Amino acid sequence: NDDQFKRVVSHAKEYGYIFGSSEIYDGLSAVYDYAQNGVELKKNIREYWWRSMVYMHQNIVGIDAAILMHPTTWKASGHVDAFNDPLIDNKDSKKRYRADVLIEDYAEKLNIKAQKEIDKAKKRFGESFDEAQFVATNPRVLRYKEEQQEVLARMARSLEAEDLADVKALIEELGIADPDTGSKNWTEVRQFNLMFGTKLGASAESATDLYLRPETAQGIFVNFLNVQKTGRMKIPFGIAQTGKAFRNEIVARQFIFRMREFEQMEMQFFVRPGDEIKWYEYWKETRLKWHLSLGLGEENYRFHDHEKLAHYANAASDIEFNFPFGFKELEGIHSRTDFDLKAHEKFSGKKLQFFDPELNENYVPYVVETSIGLDRMFLAVLSNSLQEETLEDGSSRTVLKLPSILAPVKAAVFPLVKKDGLPEIAHEIIEELQWDYNVIYDEKDAVGRRYRRQDAAGTPFCITVDHQTKEDRTVTIRHRDSMEQERIAITDISAKISKSISY
């Protein structure tokens, strides 16, 4: 809901996770900076992905290709001709929107209406309520669901046929209004290319037009044969990559969900033609398991299988996550056929084929890709972890229940008081732990306040050095989620942290 979303955005700023870009100049829309805690969380998510994809699969290796690529790359990939979004302007407000997003929002509202009916009935019938039965028979719910499907199907059909007049007709028939002003005075729908252009070279005459890459995948395709040969890879094998991508998004809103500069984590898996659907199913399942392993709650994920397929795909599905503003795409799993490699063969004149020793033949492999936005994953983790708890004594606490393995700071070490040699012992502990973990020191305010500060920042452990420590070399270790405290030996701290963050 809206309130939770606002809380997430302000919490992200207050606790050093995300700042607007160039804020002193009033910011740059849909561009963000990762702050001192944000950079750690982002790095940890990237690492969690990299380990599971590259280290846990003997047939997957990584690369780091450049952001700038030869301009023909984007002709071959289809991005010059087809990387377009349907835009519509409101004549009164002069605001620009993505026509498909306006229609999707309308469809989502129908979904919410249906859910309200379900919730109402649930309250009324209590224990004996049979949700599946209700959804299948209640005329209102059926009508909402049916209309939702019809609207989405018609939009998909018109977009596929590039019938932009019908997209506009649909917006008018549904009575969709400008979300800010309520005006229904729309322009025609037109296509807009999302790539950022730039120039290579100094003088105007000799400069070459380049694009900032809108996806990382093409850096993998153009290196396919280099990696296959030098890595002695046999099909099936994969190439993984994380890195920045750039899109001149029109509907730039929802914080870091849709940015103009963002980071992708992609893996292209090269398979025998004909085996692609088997691998597509494998990667759908494997990627969902990765998400579930973080413990953000199974009910917060769902697959959305595409009916409308991109020009390069023969099967595609999104893993959607329950963001504060509803279920939205977090990751895409696409069966891209041999579209990309074949296109690069055609435009470059170079063969991009694999000799399969078992079949004794050459072929252009098929590709199954998994593509996830690192920033979207960050938002999923952050929004899901931010919780407001009411404690037994009636007071409330704000706690960021990040999975420990992703937490920016693993432990904060406190001296109970700023004297009697306690700060020195705390620093000694830090000097020992910092070889393995990101740990911090804090001596300001009462210990209770320091605990709350670390709860809100997402730190899973607080370690307090007190007078007893001087006698028996033990400390108090406090757990963020349960708020339980135990007394343990200084020499056992490392093992305790390590146990909670091991892969």
Q: Which of residues 389-448 bind ligand ATP (CB under 6 A)?
A: none
266 forms beta bridges with 241, 371
Q: Is 275 in the site for ligand ATP (CB under 6 A)?
A: no
Min CB(422)–ligand ATP separation in Å? 45
- Cβ closest to ligand ATP, residue 11 vs residue 79: 79
Q: Which of residues 239-258 bind ligand ATP (CB under 6 A)?
A: 247, 249, 258
Q: Which of 410, 475, 414 is nearest to 443 (CA)?
A: 414
Min CB(331)–ligand ATP separation in Å? 5
Q: Which of residues 25-44 bind ligand ATP (CB under 6 A)?
A: none
Give CA angle at 284 (279, 286), nearest 5°.
Answer: 90
Q: What residues contact 396, with CB distance under 8 A and at least 6 apart?
A: 388, 389, 390
Q: Is 324 in the site for ligand ATP (CB under 6 A)?
A: no
The enclosing H or E element of 315 equals strand 315-323
Q: Which of 65, 87, 330, 400 binds ligand ATP (CB under 6 A)?
A: 330
- Cβ closest to ligand ATP, residue 78 vs residue 272: 78
Pair 25, 18: CB distance under 8 Å: no
Q: Is 372 in the site for ligand ATP (CB under 6 A)?
A: yes
DSSP 27-43: --TT-EEE-HHHHHHHH
Min CB(265)–ligand ATP separation in Å? 9
Q: Which of residues 142-201 bind ligand ATP (CB under 6 A)?
A: none
**β-strands 84-90, 96-98: how paired?**
antiparallel
Q: Please tell me whether 247 is known to bind a ligand.
A: yes
Q: What residues contact 132, with CB distance under 8 A and at least 6 apart?
A: none
Q: Is 329 in the site for ligand ATP (CB under 6 A)?
A: yes
The rounded distance, in Å, linking the Cα atoms of 280 and 238 is 13
Q: Is 376 in the site for ligand ATP (CB under 6 A)?
A: yes
DSSP 85-136: EEEEEETTT--EEEHHHHHHHHHHHHHHHHHHHHHHHHHHHGGG--HHHHHH
Give burial (CB, 10 Å; 0-12/13-18/19+) of 397.
middle
DSSP 25: G
Min CB(139)–ligand ATP separation in Å? 33
362 forms beta bridges with 355
Min CB(312)–ligand ATP separation in Å? 11
Q: Please tell me whether 309 is known to bind a ligand.
A: no
Site mask, ligand ATP, residues 210-229, x = CB under 6 A?
-----x--------------
- Cβ closest to ligand ATP, residue 370 vs residue 459: 370
Q: Is 259 in the site for ligand ATP (CB under 6 A)?
A: yes
Determine the interface stretch with ligand ATP among 11-19, 142-150, 330-338, 475-483 (rule: CB under 6 A).
330-338
Q: Is 98 in the site for ligand ATP (CB under 6 A)?
A: no
Pair 372, 330: CB distance under 8 Å: yes
- Cβ closest to ligand ATP, residue 228 vs residue 264: 264
Binding residues for ATP: 247-249, 257-262, 329-330, 373-376
Binding site for ligand ATP (CB under 6 A): 215, 247, 249, 258-259, 262, 264, 329-332, 371-373, 375-376
